[in-house]
Structure 1
Amino acid sequence: MHESEIGYPPGPKGGKPYRAMINDLNSILSADKVAVATHFHADLLRREMPRFADELLNGSGDKVRRALENLHVLPVGIALSDLHPVGLNGPNRILWNHRWSHDKNPGEFVHAMALLAAEGHEFELYALGEVERAGEKAFRRLKEQLSDRVLLSGTQSSETYRQALCRSDLVVSTAHHEFFGVSVAEAIAAGARPVLPDRLAYPELVPSAYSSEFLYHESLETALSSILSSSRDELHRHRHETREHIANFGWEKVAPKYDSLLNELLSPHS
């Protein structure tokens, strides 16, 4: 289960996607094995899905708990071979590479960039990702207020996108929902320093020894303000460690884990 509806933040109209949550519940109960991409997602399912099952079908929570006892964590595989940092001059480049949708919280990102610009920080922006209806207002505000700093925006070709990853100094997020974070993981692999909220699956994407440097608790603007005041060499002083950590999600290491679980599933003795 790359994603599930449990824990998904309500949209502008509010309410919960009960039909999709029921589909997730039925999938779990009918599966021989269940796997998710992160420990965050595993913990969320174990905590919330039995509760939902009890609300929906009184007394069925125990059945769901048993189904989730042996929940497997299989990270999303990432192709790393073409992701390498490019030496840069000039202002630091900040990358936003998420869907422009309510669950990714683009309004907070745009607000932070506007504050940093007003404070006099020099930076350039890659504001990438599909623009959905819920994110149109924030995207338009970014283009109106910071057009002179935006190098690329919206959806790009895969090659242009790859080049932007490799030319980024910082990858940021303000998301309220993230079960893995493929786009962030790819950016870190390409050499970008992560600046991520200390929630959701993000702590699993950075080395635990340096989590205090890469995960913020207050606001993105506060986290970036001090970082942008440092030199590029200082900014990237732990690049080796972050790229080494993300290498654990490369297909070379992840594919054998998938093979092992599938072989176990197909074994006549399983």
Structure 2
Amino acid sequence: MRVLLLSAYHAQSHALWAQGLQQSLPDYSWTELHLAPRYFNWRLRGNSLSWAFENRDILSQDYDLLIATSMCDLTGLRSFIPSLSRIPNILYCHENQFAYPESSQQQGRLENQMTTLYSALSADCVIFNSHYNRESFIQGVTALLKKMPDHAPFEKVNEQLQNSCVIPVGVAGAGLSPSKRMAGEQLSVLWNHRWEYDKGPDTLLSIVEACDRTGLAVDFSIVGQQFRNQPPAFSKIHQVISSSSSLRLKDWGFVEKPQAYLQLLSACDVVLSTALHDFQGLSVLEAVAHGCTPVLPNHLVYPEWFDSEYFYQHDGGAEAVLEMLLLRLQDKQGGDLPQPDVARFAWPVLAPLYKACIDNVLSRFVNCSVQDGRVS
């Protein structure tokens, strides 16, 4: 079976999903097209135009299935390339345009939301990476439709979206036995997220300042994907840690080599999230799979994956996080850091779920084609 895979905003987590999916389903013949993760608003609205006129030969080949990320303008692309409207398609939602925190950097928010909604409604199957993503999407769509002055198809849209399913992105290292941490007097804390406002760098700064103020013995590794424009909090974070008598900066910036990154995950004690939104928390799950103990806000997607012992009160300020880090330091001194199980996120566990979804879509498409008289 020939599958066309389209990733319109090929960020790191999207790339890991595409790679893992293809490796986990090797019996399919895959063709992948992706666009670099930059110029977000232009990319989201213009990907169908770019692909249709730059990659028409590839898109017009014979395929049995189309799988696209929710960043793709599926309706526009299928109108530009009519052959794509004649094969079944699956839309995979890494995120949604309704649950992002408000920012002055955002432009065209309504248009982005409508583009994603149209793609979801034109798909034969929509897969979300978490229930949190799915429910916040449906809630956002409902709120958006309430703004329509008339002719808002609430029931039909809600009915179609309720038929979507949830399958997470597979996690590297999940299901393996992580190395145990050695007892010690210094806690190693990892913050491994995109260096953007929605990952809470201002909160991270207040946590670093609180650790310095109380003299907590912490080694920080602040890593993750970086972009041309960075929130000013990062330079302040670097300054506070560098000038502190109790804090040490072990790693800073993007770790380019995958093996070096995995070694870093295996060396740290704690993975910290200060995110203002997270639809799956892939970077956290990767770190936990390699032995890190999570310290997480008690909202967003995290309660879906972890027990309450790993949470701090998300509106409790830096003091709430400081209390959790102090507890983890006590665990570290005793050599007994708690470790949640994330084996259910391993690709060998998830691959049969993806295959079952694909088989179901293909079966329904064939049955519909027979009823329409398109298959003898």
Using the size of structure 2 for normalisation, the TM-score is 0.65
1 CA distance for matches of 2:321 and 2:142?
A: 37
1:160 is aligned to 260
CA 1:141–1:133 in structure 2 vs 1: closer, same or farther (change >3 Å)?
farther
Residues 43-80 of structure 1: CA deviation (Å, up to 9, x unaligned): 11222213313424642222210111212011111121
- Tell me whether 1:177 sits opposite 2:277 in the alignment: yes
Q: CA deviation at 1:41?
A: 1.1
Q: CA deviation at 1:17?
A: 1.2
Equivalent position to 2:356, from 251, 260, 267:
260
- Tell me whether 1:80 sits opposite 2:173 in the alignment: yes
Residue aligned with 1:34, SS:
strand
1:198 is aligned to 298
CA contact (8 A) 1:106 1:135 kept: no
- Tell me whether 1:186 sits opposite 2:286 in the alignment: yes
Higher relative contact order (CA 8 A, sep 6+): 1
- Tell me whether 1:125 sits opposite 2:217 in the alignment: no
CA 1:230–1:104 in structure 2 vs 1: closer, same or farther (change >3 Å)?
same
- Tell me whether 1:7 sits opposite 2:99 in the alignment: yes
2:117 is aligned to 25
**Matched letter for residue 197 of structure 1:** P
Q: CA deviation at 1:99?
A: 0.9
Residue aligned with 1:94, SS:
strand
Q: Percent identity?
A: 29
Alignment of 1:135-150 (within 5 A): 135-147=230-242, 149-150=248-249
2 CA distance for matches of 1:137 and 1:7?
A: 24
CA contact (8 A) 1:83 1:162 kept: no
User: Which range moves more in the overlay, 168-177 or 52-61?
Assistant: 52-61
1:91 is aligned to 186
1 CA distance for matches of 2:334 and 2:139?
A: 40
2 CA distance for matches of 1:193 and 1:27?
A: 38
2:321 is aligned to 223
**Matched letter for residue 197 of structure 2:** H
Residue aligned with 1:153, SS:
strand
2 CA distance for matches of 1:219 and 1:72?
A: 35
Q: CA deviation at 1:107?
A: 1.1
CA contact (8 A) 1:51 1:61 kept: no
* Cα-Cα RMSD: 2.2
Residue aligned with 2:147, SS:
helix
Q: CA deviation at 1:173?
A: 0.9
Q: CA deviation at 1:228?
A: 4.6
- Tell me whether 1:109 sits opposite 2:200 in the alignment: no
CA contact (8 A) 1:52 1:61 kept: no
Using the size of structure 1 for normalisation, the TM-score is 0.89
2 CA distance for matches of 1:230 and 1:90?
A: 9
Q: CA deviation at 1:90?
A: 4.9
Q: Which has the larger radius of gyration?
A: 2
2 CA distance for matches of 1:4 and 1:265?
A: 22
2 CA distance for matches of 1:173 and 1:140?
A: 18
1:35 is aligned to 127
Q: CA deviation at 1:238?
A: 2.7
1 CA distance for matches of 2:107 and 2:177?
A: 40
CA contact (8 A) 1:185 1:205 kept: no
